[in-house]
Structure 1
Amino acid sequence: MVEMTMARLQEGMLILYAVSLVFYFVDFLNKDARSQRAAFWLTVIVFFMQTGFLLQAILVTKQLPVLSLYDGVYFFAWVLISLSLGIQLKYSSSYAGFILNIIAFCFMTIHIFAPTQLESSGVGESLVSELLFIHITFAILSYAAFAMAFVFAILYLLVYNLLKKKKWTSQFSRLPSLQHAMTGMKAAIYTGIPVLLVSLILGIQWAYTALSDWTVLDIKIVGSFMLIIVYSALLFLNRSGKVKATDFAWANVFAFVLIIINFFLGSKLSQFHFWL
Structure 2
Amino acid sequence: MFEQGMARLHELMVILYALSVMLYFIDFLNQNRKANKIAFWMLSIVWVLQTIFLFLYMLKTNRFPVLTLFEGLYFYAWILITLSLIINRLLRMDFTVFFTNIIGFAIMAIHTFAPVQMQSEAMAEQLVSELLFIHITMAILSYAAFSLSFIFSMLYLLQHRLLKMKKWSQRLWRLSDLDKLEKLSYVSNAVGVTMLLLSLILGVIWKFIKLPDVSWYDAKIITSFILLMIYSAYLYLKVRKGLYGKSLALLNAAAFLIILINFFLVSRFSSFHFWYT
TM-score band w.r.t. shorter chain: over 0.9
Q: Matches of 2:98 and 2:245 in 1, distance apart?
A: 28
Q: For residues 111-145 of structure 1, what are the alpha-carbon distances to aligned partners after superposition, in whole Å with 9 as ceiling and x for unaligned?
A: 11223114656511111111111111101000000
Q: What TM-score do the two structures reach when normalised by structure 2?
A: 0.95
Q: Normalising by the residue count of structure 1, what TM-score does the alignment of the two structures yield?
A: 0.95
Do the aligned partners of 2:65 and 2:71 also contact (CA within 8 Å) in 1? yes
Secondary structure at 1:80 match in 2: helix
Q: Post-superposition shift, 1:89?
A: 1.6
- Structure-1 residue corresponding to 2:105: 105
Question: Hey, what's the Cα distance between the residues in 1 that align with 2:182 and 2:212?
Answer: 45
Residues in 2 aligned to 1:124 and 1:141: alpha-carbon distance in whole angstroms: 26
Within 5 Å, which residues of 2 pair with 1:5-154?
5-118=5-118, 120=120, 122-154=122-154
Aligned residues: 275
SS in 1 for 2:264: helix
- Kept after mapping to 2: 8 A contact 1:267/1:274: no
Alpha-carbon distance between aligned partners in 2 of 1:244 and 1:231, rounded to the nearest angstrom:
15
Report the equivalent of 1:191: 191
Kindly state the Cα deviation for residue 223 of structure 1 after the two structures are TM-superposed.
0.9
Point out where structure 2 has 5 or more consecutive residues left out of the alignment. none
Of stretches 115-124 and 183-192 in structure 1, the one that deviates more from structure 2 is 115-124
Opposite residue 157 of structure 2, the aligned amino acid is L
Q: Matches of 1:165 and 1:241 in 2, distance apart? A: 29
The one-letter code sitting in structure 2 at the alignment partner of 1:158 is L
- Structure 1 residues 192-213: Cα deviation after superposition (integer angstroms, max 9, x where no partner): 0010011111112122222242
Please state whether the residue corresponding to 1:67 is helix, strand or coil: coil
Q: For 1:110, what is the secondary structure of its paired residue?
A: helix
Q: Which runs of 4+ in 1 moved over 4 A?
A: 119-122
Point out where structure 1 has 5 or more consecutive residues left out of the alignment: none
What are the superposed Cα offsets for residues 87-113 of structure 1, whole Å, 9 maximum, x if unpaired? 112113332221111111111111112
Q: Conserved in 2, the CA contact under 8 Å of 1:17 and 1:46?
A: yes
Q: Distance in 2 between matches of 1:121 and 1:68?
A: 19
2:57 counterpart letter in structure 1: A
Distance 1:63 1:24, change over 3 A: same
Q: In the alignment, what sits opposite 1:156?
A: 156
